[in-house]
Structure 1
């Protein structure tokens, strides 16, 4: 039996003191992998087939990496529609899940309309969720870059329900016992200090006066869903639109991904109703 390689991250992932400029200067390889070692030596990590998919082989030799460029699974629903739960169920089902911290670090690339490092990151695994994959335009680039991939648009019952979940989640994680202010977000240390504030500005185009403006946020949510559905209108087999609270969600996910024995895999993480 081949030895089990383990992932040694080159840095801790809680970049509270790292600036956006430092983040942008690091390659997608450095952000995602660090080193894969076995007994102190770089090795090849092979992962065996699961269901209809085969995880890629990763070969580490200094700073070089090679992977199979198979079709991917992209979770492209907006945050607070069950993206964390989708990531967890894909991992349980045997998919190699992309590093979320590495993806979130590329929010500044997305904001500048630069997708090359985002595409490069997608060569590291099979399935991806959350930022930047949940943001507008990303799905269009990935659809062109990885033909034959599957896209999952997770949704809420309506924009009102989604907006309420966003507000409750931010209130919970910032921990002030109230809706966060611009200063709260600028000082909050997720990924690095001010990351959430910068994210709000880039994604929603808000400022100090329009943070959590209900009209802006709901319009963004609806437009994103409409754009995704329109993009795949002529290829309905490549897109699954699913509300994870629906009773048939697990069955529909399993059918869409070609997986058997899917029942019971769907968790409900980061739940803030």
Structure 2
């Protein structure tokens, strides 16, 4: 990782994993007038993250006010961004249980890359044309490092989810004003988010354009 200068610029980072309500948070942030980063471009920075070179990620963060999903939800990124953007705030979205998240992420990826099969295979991931052909395989290995015969190994993914939540909360333990942990299924958490952002609530609960049991 290269050395970079610290800047005092406020940014909002949603660092919850995919399928924990990050799209809902994106909607709320847009409602409040935040400029969101270009997610397709951001996801192409996954290899930089894997190489632990955060310079391009930091450069990308200068293009907008708020960011969510990969690479911001990946381990270590929030630590670097916290040190660089000293006035920033972080939102950690969670599900009711790790099991609920696992079911949601595997179902979602199955629809995207495996025609609805139980879970995608390695070949499904390598053939998926998302961002570029093979991106799905690369990100699976970058994040989970699961065996090829079982890319969605349940034990590994559940541990990943739990470890991410623990690590984020522990990192910010001495500075609770920097981190908000919320569950978008809880209506009261919308008010907590508005207060965290120092905004007047626009709604009484999280806005859902098409409310289903699936959380994005």
Cα distance in structure 1, aligned partners of 2:195 and 2:111: 35
Does residue 272 (structure 1) correspond to residue 211 (structure 2)? The answer is no
What TM-score, normalized to structure 1? 0.72
Q: 1:258 aligns with which of 193, 198, 205?
A: 198
Secondary structure of 1:164's aligned partner = helix
Cα distance in structure 1, aligned partners of 2:21 and 2:56: 25
Does residue 233 (structure 1) correspond to residue 197 (structure 2)? The answer is no
Matching residue of 1:95? 34
Secondary structure of 2:13's aligned partner = strand
More helix by share: 2
Structure-2 change in CA distance of 1:268 and 1:198 (3 Å): farther
Structure-2 change in CA distance of 1:149 and 1:268 (3 Å): farther
> What is the count of residue pairs matched by the alignment?
206
Shift of 1:172: 1.5
Q: Deviations over 1:38-69 (max 9, x none)?
A: xxxxxxxxxxxxxxxxxxxxxxxxxxxxxx96
Cα distance in structure 2, aligned partners of 1:200 and 1:268: 29
- From the CA coordinates, give the structure whose radius of gyration is larger: 1
Secondary structure of 1:103's aligned partner = helix
The unaligned stretches of length 5 or more in structure 2 are 1-6
Matching residue of 2:115? 176
More strand by share: 1
What TM-score, normalized to structure 2? 0.90
Q: CA RMSD in A?
A: 1.8
Matching residue of 2:62? 123
Alpha carbons 1:189, 1:195 under 8 Å: kept: yes
1:18-37 superposed matches below 5 A: none
Secondary structure of 2:16's aligned partner = coil
Matching residue of 1:196? 136
The unaligned stretches of length 5 or more in structure 1 are 1-67
